[in-house]
Structure 1
Amino acid sequence: MSLVRNYDTKTKDDKKYLNAFSTVSLIIAAYLTIIIIFQNISTFPLWAHIVIFTVLLLLVASPLGIAVRAHREDSDRYAQALLEERGYKSTPGMSSEICKAEDSIDYHELPSEEGQAKAALDDERLSDEVNMNLLQALCTVNFWLLFIAMFCGLGSGLAMINNIGQIGESMDYTATERNSLVSLLSIWNFLGRFGAGFVSDIFLHRGGWARPLFVAITLAIMTIGHIVVASGFSKNLYLGTVLVGVAYGSQWSLMPTITSEIFGVGHMGTIFNTIAIASPVGSYTFSVRVIGYIYDKVGSGEDSACSGTRCFMLSFMIMASVAFFGVLVALVLFFRTRRFYKSVVFRRLRHS
């Protein structure tokens, strides 16, 4: 925390650099995905591993170059502005040119005192209209709808992540394939976190779609993913991890944003982390009480080892049912907050 500093932002300039950071992240994800796929197809020699690792280090270090470039351009702009300011002050005969420049500027009438007072009142109303503390949020139905939806989605998704190695082993996946599944699942998780906020922003600003609808969509995708894993067809885990991983990451991106929009930003950290308790609670419920219990029941031998689709089929059908229940809960939240988004969130966006 001693390294954190507050700086004034310039949205127009900063967006270019933020997009550059995002581009690098996507390039790294694509690079790792390609490498993982090729590692499953063939075996690399030592020199190929060295080249792959070197390229990866360069990609990981490239954001530092973006930051240095941004700092240099910001310093150049500041120095240029300082020189121009000194030039205007010290150059004689500049007043006529300044007057000509001022003539080309469109001046707008300043708001009246009544207009300024109304604008200040709107600012205060927008900041206080939705700014609940934790106890106030706990007394609302929307809080528990979001909590239950996250319990169904984050809990079942994390249960699959925790058990993906053992699931692959029971279905006779090789060690290399199981390691690849774990790595690919992390990449799909990243893509979900990265893309869900971006996509939901587009539909929110352009189409007026309230963000809880996307929670329902991601839970529906997760439902399909659980069914794919339960089905047990050949190489089903590759497709199942894509669906569950993207949906799981998307929910981690959507949940804090929805929390800030519905309950405000004043106590957003406390409310967000309270809702996030749904993830470990759901993970324990599904990993231990569902997957672990059923696995021990159907296992055979002294070490209770289990092989075949029967080991996890029932568990994932249960989690698919739970995720589908989460879809219904998220749809209820969507219909409950649709008017709120139109009357408060959209107005706040226009105001900002």
Structure 2
Amino acid sequence: MMTLVLLLSCVGHLLIAFPAPGSVYVASVIIGFSFSAQLSLLFAIISELFGLKYYSTLFNCGQLASPLGSYILNVKVTGMLYDREALKELAKSGRDRSSVNELICLRSQCYRLAFSILAVVTFFGAVVSLILVVRTREFYKGDIYKKFRDEAEDS
């Protein structure tokens, strides 16, 4: 399920990177749905794979992944690429950085590379998720809660 959600998110990023009329609205809905589904599935996956003994610690590590990834991809990658495109647009108009207060880019090209990178990162996450599915297939064929019931009975 996580693989499908990540692939859906990848489609949303590509709809923004290569826009068509009205595609940004559709992409916003897709990405919003995907983000909430990812968070919901992440904590179910953590509890199933690692159990509940250290769930609070693993829960917080899962929570930390979202803002950390957002900061790196939004501020460092997307911000840098936007500034570079805005400087290109400024140079085409014959001005330099010292002549303006803010860098403004008004073309669809401004975010194309950034959202393409986000789509590639999301696709990589989908591939990793698919590998996890293949590797845990035997685990899910059996009684996945047997181990946890045995631990509870021993305590």
Q: Does the alignment reach a TM-score above 0.5?
A: yes
In structure 2, what is the Cα distance between the partners aligned to 1:262 and 1:346?
10
Give how far 1:348 is off. 7.1
Pairwise mapping of residues 291-302 of structure 1 onto structure 2 (< 5 A)?
291-299=78-86, 300=90, 302=100
SS of match in other structure, 2:142:
helix
The superposition leaves residues 140-162 of structure 1 with CA deviations (integer Å, 9 ceiling, x where unpaired) of xxxxxxxxxxxxxxxxxxxxxxx
Which one of the candidate residues 293, 314, 329 is aligned to 2:113?
314
Which amino acid is 1:307 matched to? L
1:327 paired with 2:126, answer yes
In structure 1, what is the Cα distance between the partners aligned to 2:25 and 2:12?
10
Normalised by the length of structure 1, the TM-score is: 0.37
Give how far 1:263 is off. 0.5
In structure 2, what is the Cα distance between the partners aligned to 1:260 and 1:311?
40
1:251 paired with 2:38, answer yes
1:273 paired with 2:60, answer yes
What is the aligned residue count?
Answer: 138
Give how far 1:276 is off. 2.2
In structure 2, what is the Cα distance between the partners aligned to 1:323 and 1:338?
22
Which amino acid is 1:221 matched to? L
Gaps of 5+ in 2: 91-96, 151-155
Larger radius of gyration: 1
Normalised by the length of structure 2, the TM-score is: 0.82
In structure 2, what is the Cα distance between the partners aligned to 1:305 and 1:230?
18
In structure 2, what is the Cα distance between the partners aligned to 1:228 and 1:308?
15
Which one of the candidate residues 130, 135, 148 is aligned to 1:336?
135
1:241 paired with 2:40, answer no
In structure 2, what is the Cα distance between the partners aligned to 1:344 and 1:336?
16
In structure 1, what is the Cα distance between the partners aligned to 2:134 and 2:127?
11
Which amino acid is 1:345 matched to? I
SS of match in other structure, 1:345:
coil
In structure 1, what is the Cα distance between the partners aligned to 2:41 and 2:83?
35
Give how far 1:343 is off. 2.2
Give how far 1:275 is off. 2.4
Which amino acid is 1:339 matched to? E
User: Which residue in the other structure is 2:153 paired with?
Assistant: none
User: Which residue in the other structure is 1:232 paired with?
Assistant: 19
**Bigger relative contact order (CA 8 A; separation at least 6):** 2
SS of match in other structure, 2:144:
helix
Which amino acid is 1:237 matched to? V
SS of match in other structure, 2:21:
coil
The superposition leaves residues 19-72 of structure 1 with CA deviations (integer Å, 9 ceiling, x where unpaired) of xxxxxxxxxxxxxxxxxxxxxxxxxxxxxxxxxxxxxxxxxxxxxxxxxxxxxx
Pairwise mapping of residues 179-218 of structure 1 onto structure 2 (< 5 A)?
214-218=1-5
The superposition leaves residues 120-150 of structure 1 with CA deviations (integer Å, 9 ceiling, x where unpaired) of xxxxxxxxxxxxxxxxxxxxxxxxxxxxxxx
Across the aligned residues of Structure 1 and Structure 2, the Cα RMSD in angstroms comes to: 2.0
Which amino acid is 1:337 matched to? T
